[in-house]
A and B are shown apart, each in its own frame.
Chain A
Amino acid sequence: MYYLGVDLGSLSCDAVLLDHDGGVLASSVVLTGARNREAIAKATDAVLRLAGITEDQIRATVSTGYGRDRVEKRLAAVTEITCHARGIKSLFGGAQILIDIGGQDSKAVRLDPNGQVIDFAMNDKCAAGTGRFLEAMARALQVDIEELADLDLGASGNVTLSSMCTVFAESEVVSLIADGVEVREIVSGLNRAIASRIVALVRRVAPMSNGLSIAMSGGVAHNSGVVRALSQAFETAISVPPKPDTVGALGAALIAREKYARQS
């Protein structure tokens, strides 16, 4: 018996397949693109292929992400807040704060000792500091998004960005380049700007975050520069799983397994 979690996000569609005991058999990440159904099929086919099973062997599917209602054959649709919390709990049992930065929004989630959501905050209607923001900045810097991760290394941290609006920040980056400012200083400035927004978001759910254990999920967690800036801002290490972008799908698959067990 197998359980599937599908996370249809704005940038990527992720799937995680679990076996009977809740062990991860396979995971996949594909670009969402313009056709949601195709992305769902691709991500699902990929995990089925990797695990060597067929679709009819899946007992239950739970969908999540902004397109959660578009996943057919689902047992339930559950928000990404609940799914990321469930996923991170299975990876880092002691996590008390979860930071999830996805393609177009960011969230701070406060977890109780059982991994239940007891508080959450989302960014206010603006994609500043999210995956889309980083994409735009990479474009302005004329580098690949993956390259951004370590470009801040060795920076002195003397550049501060004055705007987090994606449009204004992009033109600010362009003019900093024109002024001859080193790329690593610009990237470090971007990372610190993102971190400062996230600190404000986390403060809304945990006014005193000192001493709390913080974990991170979502595609932006692949960017080690952002994670470094967050660690510095919170003065603590941030736990990042090896596949941070599939944490939501993992949570969804775990919930599928639990729901199926409760039903039968």
Chain B
Amino acid sequence: MMLQYFQRLASVTEARISKYPHQPNARKKFALEIAKLGIRLYSGEHRVAWCGVVAPFDVLSAMNVTSCFVEFVGAMLASTGTVGMFLEESEHAGFAADTCGYHRAVLGAAMKGMMPVPDIMIATTCPCSGGLAAMENLARTFKKELFVLDVPSSDTSESVRYLADQYKNMMRFVSDRIGGSIDEDRLRESIVKSNRARELMIEVYRLAQHVPSPANGQSLANFGIVMALFLGTDAGIEIAQAYKDEYEEMIRNGKSGVPDEKIRLLWLQNRIQFKHPLIRLLEEEYQAAIVIDELNDITWDAIDPDDPFTSIARRTITTPLNGKISQRLDHIQRLSKLYKVDGAVNPCHWGCRQGTGARGLIQAGLKEVGVPVVNLEVDCVDTRNFAEGQLRTRLEAFMEMLRSNPTAHGA
């Protein structure tokens, strides 16, 4: 089912791109690469690694392994509208219904045989312990040994060294399982590509800051987190280039992502992954654009090709959701100012302690910089929990508040 889904997505998207071959087609190219990744994961023809969210995907790609974080599958199942049966499967097997839907979905998919058996499994302790537990469960289901990358929370030289050493062990772990030795030249080539994609992504984010923004509610949804999967590849560079071209062209032509943009929003943490009417409501009724997502940022320096693991360790440690909440707050305060946002939307994804534990601190922290927050309390994966009326009221009241009182503080 998943293979056919990705194949159909690829052919439909290719057809759409070929209709307008001279346009940048940024979002479509992004979707096409997602489809191609899905095909590689599910075709049975490639070496596959199921990973945690912050695994070094460019290193794994240099080792010729198609790698992906498992939460991606949860998000894809939600976007296809079929997630309910997988959630039920895991709940029937005893997984608590109030844990993160990304993990419940993926565990249910594995139980139903909808996840290809991987060659390798690499968990990461960041962003959440739920992810680690899900990976341990999956490793049992697949009868695979699990390699765990223990991500330290602070950016000190000892922490960086500690994580960098683990990458070397991880590479040995991978090469022991797929055979062959590590090709230094391939790794270097991959690093160069990651750095190029990084430069382009910085440009894309800089362009998105423009007032009015070329970004609308959907164009950069899931961008930062999924682009990590394409680092080290030509696809990553092409996607970022297409966004840069598209945004530059829009700004040149005086076009904005949301026509007549009136409200600029910051979206915290993850998007709602299934089809829902809220983004369109924001755009059409309130001319509100989501100009920045918390996870759409480059927080890392270019990777040193002569010492890649140190730089990659720093890249992982500086991930926005890693470490102390005060770091997260500094980051979202900085983004709020850079993107000149009027308000922030915190989905408070059901079951995510990582995301919702800091709800009050986030609200207070954004208040300090004059940015009100609306807390949605939505399950970003589980369509069965979607209370559209409640969510509409929260968002619409927030929009009314922002429109009538630009200095309002909170929701």
A interface residues (Cβ-Cβ under 8 A, vs B): 66, 78-82, 105, 110, 112, 116-122, 124-125, 204-205
Top-5 shortest CB links A-B? A81-B397, A119-B410, A79-B397, A116-B405, A82-B400
Chain B, 394-408, CB within 8 A of any chain A CB: 394, 396-397, 400-401, 404-405, 407-408
Interface bracket on B: 20 to 34
When the two chains form their complex, are residues B387 and A120 in contact, meaning their CB atoms are under 8 A apart? Answer: no
- With A79-B400, A82-B400, A125-B377 as contacts: A66 and B409 at CB distance below 8 Å: no
When the two chains form their complex, are residues A125 and B390 in contact, meaning their CB atoms are under 8 A apart? Answer: yes
B-chain residues with CB within 8 Å of residue A105 when the two chains form the complex = 390
Q: 29 A-B contacts, Cβ less than 8 Å apart?
A: A66-B389, A66-B393, A79-B396, A79-B397, A80-B393, A81-B400, A105-B390, A112-B405, A116-B404, A116-B405, A117-B397, A117-B404, A117-B405, A117-B408, A118-B401, A118-B405, A118-B407, A118-B408, A118-B409, A119-B372, A119-B408, A119-B410, A120-B401, A122-B390, A122-B394, A125-B377, A125-B385, A125-B387, A205-B410
When the two chains form their complex, are residues A82 and B411 in contact, meaning their CB atoms are under 8 A apart? Answer: no
Quote the shortest CB–CB distance from B118 to chain A (angstroms). Answer: 36
In the complex, which of the residues B393, B404, B410 contacts A122, with contact meaning CB atoms closer than 8 Å?
A: B393
Closest partner residue, chain A, to B363 (CB atom): A204
A-chain residues with CB within 8 Å of residue B385 when the two chains form the complex = 125
A78 to B285, CA, bound (A): 12
Quote the shortest CB–CB distance from B287 to chain A (angstroms). Answer: 15
A-chain residues with CB within 8 Å of residue B401 when the two chains form the complex = 81-82, 116-118, 120
Closest partner residue, chain A, to B378 (CB atom): A125
Quote the shortest CB–CB distance from A11 to chain B (angstroms). Answer: 14
B-chain residues with CB within 8 Å of residue A118 when the two chains form the complex = 401, 405, 407-410
A125 to B378, CA, bound (A): 9
> Given A118-B401, A122-B394, A125-B377, 20 other A-B contacts at CB below 8 A?
A66-B389, A79-B396, A79-B400, A80-B393, A80-B397, A81-B401, A82-B397, A82-B400, A105-B390, A110-B410, A116-B404, A116-B405, A117-B405, A118-B405, A118-B410, A120-B401, A120-B411, A125-B385, A125-B390, A205-B410
When the two chains form their complex, are residues A81 and B409 in contact, meaning their CB atoms are under 8 A apart? Answer: no
A81 to B372, CA, bound (A): 16
A122 to B401, CA, bound (A): 14
Chain B 55-69, CB-CB to A under 8 Å as 1, else 0, gives 000000000000000
Quote the shortest CB–CB distance from B202 to chain A (angstroms). Answer: 35
A-chain residues with CB within 8 Å of residue B396 when the two chains form the complex = 79
B-chain residues with CB within 8 Å of residue A66 when the two chains form the complex = 389, 393
B-chain residues with CB within 8 Å of residue A80 when the two chains form the complex = 393, 397
When the two chains form their complex, are residues A117 and B400 in contact, meaning their CB atoms are under 8 A apart? Answer: yes
A-chain residues with CB within 8 Å of residue B372 when the two chains form the complex = 119
- With A117-B401, A117-B408, A119-B408 as contacts: A79 and B393 at CB distance below 8 Å: yes
B-chain residues with CB within 8 Å of residue A124 when the two chains form the complex = 377
Quote the shortest CB–CB distance from A138 to chain B (angstroms). Answer: 24
In the complex, which of the residues B360, B393, B405, B407 contacts A81, with contact meaning CB atoms closer than 8 Å?
A: B393
Quote the shortest CB–CB distance from B383 to chain A (angstroms). Answer: 15
A116 to B387, CA, bound (A): 27
A129 to B380, CA, bound (A): 26
In the complex, which of the residues B400, B407, B408 contacts A78, with contact meaning CB atoms closer than 8 Å?
A: B400
B-chain residues with CB within 8 Å of residue A79 when the two chains form the complex = 393, 396-397, 400
Closest partner residue, chain B, to A66 (CB atom): B389
Quote the shortest CB–CB distance from A153 to chain B (angstroms). Answer: 35
Quote the shortest CB–CB distance from B224 to chain A (angstroms). Answer: 28
A-chain residues with CB within 8 Å of residue B360 when the two chains form the complex = 204
A-chain residues with CB within 8 Å of residue B400 when the two chains form the complex = 78-79, 81-82, 117
Closest partner residue, chain A, to B401 (CB atom): A117
A116 to B410, CA, bound (A): 13
A-chain residues with CB within 8 Å of residue B375 when the two chains form the complex = 121
Closest partner residue, chain A, to B393 (CB atom): A79
Closest partner residue, chain A, to B350 (CB atom): A125
Closest partner residue, chain B, to A105 (CB atom): B390
A152 to B244, CA, bound (A): 66
B-chain residues with CB within 8 Å of residue A110 when the two chains form the complex = 410
Interface hub of B393, B405, B409 (most chain A Cβ within 10 A): B393
Quote the shortest CB–CB distance from A243 to chain B (angstroms). Answer: 22
Closest partner residue, chain A, to B387 (CB atom): A125
A116 to B397, CA, bound (A): 12
B-chain residues with CB within 8 Å of residue A121 when the two chains form the complex = 375, 411
Closest partner residue, chain B, to A120 (CB atom): B411
Quote the shortest CB–CB distance from B369 to chain A (angstroms). Answer: 16
Chain B, 169-185, CB within 8 A of any chain A CB: none
Quote the shortest CB–CB distance from B355 to chain A (angstroms). Answer: 15
Quote the shortest CB–CB distance from B189 to chain A (angstroms). Answer: 49
A98 to B348, CA, bound (A): 24
Closest partner residue, chain A, to B410 (CB atom): A119
Quote the shortest CB–CB distance from B352 to chain A (angstroms). Answer: 14
When the two chains form their complex, are residues A120 and B397 in contact, meaning their CB atoms are under 8 A apart? Answer: yes
A-chain residues with CB within 8 Å of residue B393 when the two chains form the complex = 66, 79-81, 122
A-chain residues with CB within 8 Å of residue B409 when the two chains form the complex = 118-119
Chain B 370-390, CB-CB to A under 8 Å as 1, else 0, gives 001001010000000101011
Chain B 206-237, CB-CB to A under 8 Å as 1, else 0, gives 00000000000000000000000000000000
A151 to B390, CA, bound (A): 32
A105 to B375, CA, bound (A): 15
Quote the shortest CB–CB distance from A99 to chain B (angstroms). Answer: 15
A166 to B360, CA, bound (A): 26
Quote the shortest CB–CB distance from A96 to chain B (angstroms). Answer: 14
